Amino acid sequence: MKRGEKVVGRNAKPIDLIMADGNKRHLTKAEIEHRKNTEIRFGNDKLVCPKHIKNNKNAYAKWKELMRLYKDFNFVASGDVGMLGRYCMAYSEYLDLIERRAIINQLSINIEEHYYIEKELKDEGVPEKRIEKMIEKYEFILSIGGLIALDKAINAKMDALVKMEDRLFLNPLAKIKNVPKKPPEEEKTELDQNGFGDI
């Protein structure tokens, strides 16, 4: 490596996380103060729930859960509301997809019901082409292709949630990587216990 070249490494952590982790890099007080002063921080510590989150029951429940988790941390600011909101909405959409999948699993249609539904719609004055398209869509939803499409959507939403959970320190692996470890307690020798260890 040549002198002056930058080494590609891990993403930088906020100084609060570094300090909570025990300052393993042995930063000086001046370096710590410089990092605190130059660290980009958007907004203040007050996190206000967006209206579209409050209007969605599942998303709002997730928002309240996140606020309980983050209440003791300094690194979450009002600039992070967008990411938290996206996570809550994605979680709500995921639950909606799971619910739809459960409903579809309970549905089944036979020829007799097919005829009855078609007759009922004709009696209501629904045009025949529209009835045919509705039945085609219904049959597609119940088909293997429809179920695979729904499962793909569920998996895509789950993947997005996992990625957001990594960034928001919500999954166990992210917590393990970023939660400070307890410093090892020093074993006291017999001399230390008798008051002779600190000379």
Average pLDDT of the residues in 59-69 = 92
Q: How many domains does the chain have?
A: 1
Q: Report the chain's mean pLDDT, rounded to a whole number.
A: 78
Whether 35 is covered by a domain: the verdict is yes
Whether 124 is covered by a domain: the verdict is no
pLDDT tens-digit map of 179-196: 555 556 667 677 666 766
Q: Which domain holds residue 33?
A: 12-41
Report how far residue 16's alpha carbon sits from residue 74's, in angstroms, rounded to the nearest whole number: 7
CA 46 to chain centre: 20
Sequence-distant (≥ 6) Cβ neighbours of residue 84 within 8 angstroms: 47, 63, 66, 76, 168
Residue-level pLDDT at 67: 87
Whether 22 is covered by a domain: the verdict is yes
- N-terminal to C-terminal alpha carbon distance within the chain: 45
Report how far residue 132's alpha carbon sits from residue 129's, in angstroms, rounded to the nearest whole number: 5
Is residue 15's pLDDT more than 70? no
Task: Tell whether pTM > 0.75.
Answer: no
Q: Which of 57-66, 67-76, 98-107, 136-145 has the lowest mean pLDDT?
A: 67-76
Residue-level pLDDT at 91: 97
Whether 68 is covered by a domain: the verdict is no
Whether 18 is covered by a domain: the verdict is yes
Whether 6 is covered by a domain: the verdict is no
Whether 120 is covered by a domain: the verdict is no
pLDDT over 70 percentage in the chain: 65
Residue-level pLDDT at 95: 96
Whether 69 is covered by a domain: the verdict is no
Residue-level pLDDT at 44: 65
Residue-level pLDDT at 119: 83
